[in-house]
Chain A
């Protein structure tokens, strides 16, 4: 049961990154790709009807994590107290900026929310990347299963690290670049004319940076946490993951060059999903490694809720998630295709 819920939570969080990732990416690119108000409007309207639903994956994933692994939820959420609160503030600011900027047709009002949208999106990407890197690196879990991390200590990876050290900053950069490319490919898919061209060009250039940072993060992970490699050696089939990462990167490039925008975007989805699955494989069966003493790792077996609750949960979860996938199909189908450059009515 533990393994099932581990993968359920992992898949929900991966769905969050893939889906909300592209609208965060749009936010990162917002000041750079839009040359006028019409462009900004197209970028906003490309995510308008879907961003809120995308963000629900974070909430539903978080709720499922709470339910399935209360110990992990309690320990990690209180231990990562400050960065999580900052993430909450960023999510609030970002949601408000997307929704409120269009209501008043005034330069100052819009400029303000444009700025909030960009900053909150970029910082969220960095924080999410750093958060995942923290989980991979491990934290100083105490004898009572709790810990508390300051935002930074000496920026080194040691037994008493901060939230930010050189390794987690690398993680943040991976997320920043990956989501910017992801957003760029999404925009190329949704926009027309010049804006589409700029998005395509950006994605192609940033692709090189993405390849470099992916490689750096891979090597850094093996350096910082050699145990991940052991998990891979235990299941040699999992070495397919790095191969898939390379293939998805290659596919992104090839499809962008061939102007197959949908395929390029889907390759980026695959890239993000596989990177996360790779991290999950490296962790399992640990949920949160200890940086001081491997015996204090929080594991799946230790944190899983009671057998009755998890069995019942599996029934309603399967049912509910099928419904949710259904809603998503309806919503994305309704708002499919290119966003019209003129802002008359919604979309096309």
Chain B
């Protein structure tokens, strides 16, 4: 149990747990704007009622996103002090901008959105919902800019004392990596929200209750789901894969399990990486596809791990391989499921087709897994670097915080977050049980979360 491992585990655990909430709220913020817009344009009160219901679920998740997000801002300094000292002049910029431009906006307009429906005009209330959406998506952008700089450092100068100095503000914000990653990530957030909304719709239809809202949620959910699933694969996933291949070839080799570089490289659909023998066990492969996916021709050469010194291989290679395959596999399944669902919707059969409502209901946890696996792919793929090619993970942690102290706080977070999980399940289940009919926009809230 080295201190480095403890610090990594703590950050990995707290960030993974944290991101369970923003992925839903960012996607849901968009879907709530959609619901409110339909309500305004069609003068249909059901859509307003639907948005009130989702606002309650949004509020709980938003709160948990906020309280689990606070540690993230602190842990750069507490657990990764050397990294912070060296890179603060650069990544401190987007992190500070997130606070100043997004958090103030979100917290104010969320209050107006949740409490203000009676006092604001219909348009003003729509505006509040829209601003919550804008705020949460700005927040996501600044975080992605921070991560993208670690993945693909730009606009910097390295000083003699090991610190990085910013040379171009716009270079940092317009980092191409950031925009590709942002598109892919936000699309993933919409998938989570669309699957959750569809699943609640399917739940009501299977339970034969609140069927009007069940149909509404299902309709909005599967349409948003299909759109986001398609865009997630092409162009955003495709572009990000190519860009990664260009700038982090070792990461791609690890993700794909390509131990030996070759022309006309195959794609491994399934298998178990065997690092000792440098091969994939029980491989299920399709020849030449990897070369085609990355370079557009089936004969192109793809670099394998053997072309990189072993100390630059992604650490935890099998986990990288599995994360990537889980993400890509689930992404494919999502698209297929949504194609079938939208087809049935178009044929007018979706609401009665129990054989498809069941998988829609049961699939709601899967986008959480896929989003988590996607982030693990990006972050494990970046290893052994904190700042790709420039600063190693082993050189970035707080050397003065011992493994024992770090384990103490990791256990504390585990306990704390277990309690939060239980509270979350109780409350969200309760909201779904109470149903959309009971979702009053002004039902005596004490706090922000109505």
Question: From residue 73 to 129 of chain A, which have CB atoms closer than 8 A to chain B?
Answer: 73-79, 81-82, 84-85, 88-89, 91-93, 95-96, 98-104
- Residues 82-126 of chain B, each 1 if its beta carbon lies under 8 Å from chain A, else 0: 101111111011011111110111011111100110110000000
User: Are A309 and B166 neighbours in the complex by a CB distance under 8 Å?
Assistant: yes
Query: Range of interface residues on chain B?
Result: 35 or more
Q: Which residue of B lies closest to A320 (CB)?
A: B100
User: Are B398 and A78 neighbours in the complex by a CB distance under 8 Å?
Assistant: yes
Known: A44-B447, A60-B99, A102-B445. A88 touches B74 (CB 8 A): yes
Q: Quick check: is B430 within 8 A (CB to CB) of the other chain? A: yes
User: Are B430 and A103 neighbours in the complex by a CB distance under 8 Å?
Assistant: yes
Known: A52-B66, A323-B105, A328-B108. A146 touches B167 (CB 8 A): no
Say which residue of A66, A73, A99 sits within 8 Å of B63 (CB atoms).
A99
Which segment, of A230-238, A285-293, A338-346, faces chain B? A338-346
Say which residue of A58, A64, A345 sits within 8 Å of B100 (CB atoms).
A64
Residue picked from A75, A88, A147, most chain B C-beta under 10 Å: A88
Q: How far is the CA of A321 from the CA of B80 in the complex (A)?
A: 28
User: Are B97 and A70 neighbours in the complex by a CB distance under 8 Å?
Assistant: no
User: Are B81 and A75 neighbours in the complex by a CB distance under 8 Å?
Assistant: yes
Please classify the interface of chain B as helix (H, G, I), strand (E, B), loop, or mixed, using the class held by over half of its residues.
helix
User: Are A77 and B78 neighbours in the complex by a CB distance under 8 Å?
Assistant: yes
Q: How far is the CA of A285 from the CA of B140 in the complex (A)?
A: 35
Q: Which residue of A lies closest to B115 (CB)?
A: A346
Q: How far is the CA of A145 from the CA of B63 in the complex (A)?
A: 36
Residues of B within 8 A of A41 (CB): 444, 446
Q: Quick check: is A67 within 8 A (CB to CB) of the other chain? A: yes
Known: A50-B111, A306-B89, A346-B445. A60 touches B96 (CB 8 A): yes
Which segment, of A154-162, A197-205, A251-259, A310-318, faces chain B? A310-318
Q: Quick check: is A62 within 8 A (CB to CB) of the other chain? A: yes
User: Are A67 and B416 neighbours in the complex by a CB distance under 8 Å?
Assistant: no
Residues of A within 8 A of B165 (CB): 305-306, 308-309
User: Are A92 and B105 neighbours in the complex by a CB distance under 8 Å?
Assistant: no
Task: Tell me, rounded to whole Å, the shortest Cβ–Cβ distance linking B15 to chain A.
Answer: 14
Across chains A and B, which 9 residue pairs bring their CB atoms closest together, nearest first?
Answer: A70-B88, A77-B77, A67-B92, A60-B99, A102-B446, A320-B100, A78-B81, A74-B85, A63-B96
Residue ranges of B at the interface with A (Cβ–Cβ < 8 Å): 59-60, 63-64, 66-68, 70-71, 73-74, 76-79, 81-82, 84-90, 92-93, 95-101, 103-105, 107-112, 115-116, 118-119, 163, 165-167, 169, 398-402, 405, 408-409, 412, 416, 420, 423, 426-427, 430, 442, 444-449
